[in-house]
Amino acid sequence: MVQNDLFQEMLEAISRVYEAEADPQGPHTAKTLMVTPSPVSFDPVRPCCLAEGIRTVLAGSEHPAARAALKAHNLLPWGSNPVERSTEKSIAAMISVATLLGPEGPIPAPDVRLGLVYMRPESYYPLHIHDADETYVIIAGQALWTAGDDTRMRGEGDMIHHPSLMPHAFCTGSEGFLAIWRWSGDINTHSYAFIEGQATQLQA
Ligand SMILES: [Fe+2]
């Protein structure tokens, strides 16, 4: 059981990210986070997965959720990636996910999945698709980001939308990135798929 002011402060910081979002799921997500009863229960967390480099970037990030996430990172359920079974080990190892909201918990939410995603430095996560609408908000670090036909550097404070079935991929440099990640709409995990033949290495 987690009953910790730092965890609650992080949930509140994340909820504020979504309060002003135009997407109808935004205020819904914010409300779900804000009404979360304390304590939250999840399995004991694994040892900290954030490399020193991204922790340094987090400490210097201006994003309101960055400091809160840094303070709470040792309390989070890292290793709870809902689509880990759909990925090869080598790809799954590039990313650590701490799921906070979802049908399987730890915070019950039948129609949204939300958590933190850490992508390691010097990594390429290939093009993939899924039925869910997806929103990333980068709170520290950066990546060369492909969303459909749009490939460019994305960094701290950027909110990136992937409509249902839009191919997307990420390529990190020396820092990696930490982002808030959310699925809404049809949040099934079975549609998660990599796009064969298009997973060419991007040059950062
Ligand atoms: Fe995605």
Task: Please provide the DSSP assignment of 13-47 as one string.
Answer: HHHHHHHT-SSTHHHHHHHHHHT--SSB--PPPPS
Beta strands in the chain (DSSP E): 95-102, 107-108, 113-119, 124-129, 133-147, 150-155, 159-162, 168-184, 193-194
Instruction: Report how far residue 6's alpha carbon sits from residue 12's, in angstroms, rounded to the nearest whole number.
Output: 10
Distance 151 CA to ligand 1 centre (A): 15
pLDDT at site 45: 56
* pLDDT tens sequence across 172-204: 999 999 999 999 999 999 999 999 755 444 444
Cα(4)–Cα(66) distance, integer angstroms: 17
pLDDT at 172: 97
Q: How much of the chain, in percent, has pLDDT values that exceed 70?
A: 83
CA 141, chain centre distance (Å): 13
Percent of the chain with pLDDT over 90: 56
Q: Which two tokens stand for residue 200?
A: 């060419």
By the CB criterion, residues less than 5 angstroms from ion ligand 1 are 134
Work out the burial of residue 169: count CB atoms within 10 Å of its CB; fewer than 13 is exposed, 13-18 middle, 19 or more buried.
buried
Ligand 1 center to 183 CA (angstroms): 8
Q: What confidence tens digit (pLDDT) does each residue in 88-142 have?
A: 888 888 999 999 999 988 888 899 999 999 999 999 999 999 999 999 999 999 9
Six-digit token string for 7: 């965890």
Which two structure tokens, joined as six digits, stand for 144? 């060369």
Q: Report the separation in Å between the CA atom of 185 and the middle of ligand 1, taken as the mean of its atom positions.
A: 13
**18: its two tokens:** 């979504």
**Rounded distance from Cα 3 to ligand 1 centre (Å):** 30
- Averaged pLDDT, 5-32: 79
- Ligand 1 centroid – CA 5 distance (Å): 30
Whole-model pTM: value is: 0.89
Mean pLDDT (whole number) for 71-83: 88
Instruction: Give 129 Cα–ligand 1 centroid separation in angstroms.
Output: 6
Rounded mean pLDDT of the chain? 86
Superfamily of domain 5-194: Jelly Rolls (2.60.120.10)
Nearest one of 121, 96, 134, 132 to 171, comparing CA atoms: 121
Residue 162 Cα to ligand 1 middle (Å): 7
